[in-house]
């Protein structure tokens, strides 16, 4: 079992302006273990997609103070685990939602690549969702830590 170095948890309203904030917070948190720049950039991209999915899809695009996104991070020697949780409508079919180019919001010009991007830029991706009860996305990124 890996030894935990640090952890953090925060909640913020599901507003598009908070996507960049969440991405920056996770990158700053991960910087404690001095990862390579390209890997940190990959992590930022994956977190951005995860939070954007929660904001756009969980609450039917309705942004506001009552709709929250929870972001949790656990840091290890060379690994970060991130959980992005929303409390929105959930996903009917997670396997279908993970298919490249599948989108439930074509009218919003969504590409349907969110899960594919998250999977590409992290080492592990797990999704738990229940219709009417929200979605939890778990990401794990293993870094090549600078010496």
Whether 7 is catalytic is: no
Residue 2 DSSP code? P
End-to-end CA distance of the chain: give it in Å, rounded: 23
Residue closest to 48 by CA, chosen among 83, 24, 32? 24
**φ, ψ (nearest 5 deg) of residue 145:** -75, 135
Residue 101 DSSP code? T
Catalytic position from the list 72, 78, 98, 110: 110
Catalytic position from the list 53, 67, 81, 119: 53
Q: Angle at CA 112, nearest 5°, toward 111 and 118?
A: 110
Crossing angle for the helix pair 114-121 and 37-53, nearest 10 degrees?
150
Whether 53 is catalytic is: yes
CA 52: distance to chain centroid?
8
Whether 11 is catalytic is: no
Catalytic position from the list 19, 39, 49, 81: 49
Report, as residue numbers or ranges, the catalytic residues.
49, 53, 110
């Amino acid at each position: 079992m890996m030894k935990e170095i640090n952890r953090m948890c925060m909640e913020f309203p599901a507003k598009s302006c908070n996507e960049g904030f969440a991405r920056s917070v996770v990158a700053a948190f991960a910087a404690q273990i001095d990862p390579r720049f390209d890997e940190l950039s990959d992590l930022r991209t994956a977190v951005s997609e995860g939070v954007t999915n929660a904001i756009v899809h969980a609450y039917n695009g309705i942004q506001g103070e009552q709709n929250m996104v929870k972001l949790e991070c656990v840091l290890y020697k060379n690994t970060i685990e991130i959980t992005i949780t929303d409390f929105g409508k959930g996903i009917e079919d997670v396997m279908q939602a993970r298919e490249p180019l599948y989108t439930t919001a074509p009218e919003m010009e969504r590409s349907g690549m969110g899960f594919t991007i998250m999977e590409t830029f992290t080492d592990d991706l797990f999704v738990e969702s229940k219709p009417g009860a929200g979605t939890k996305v778990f990401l794990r990124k293993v870094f090549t830590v600078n010496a």
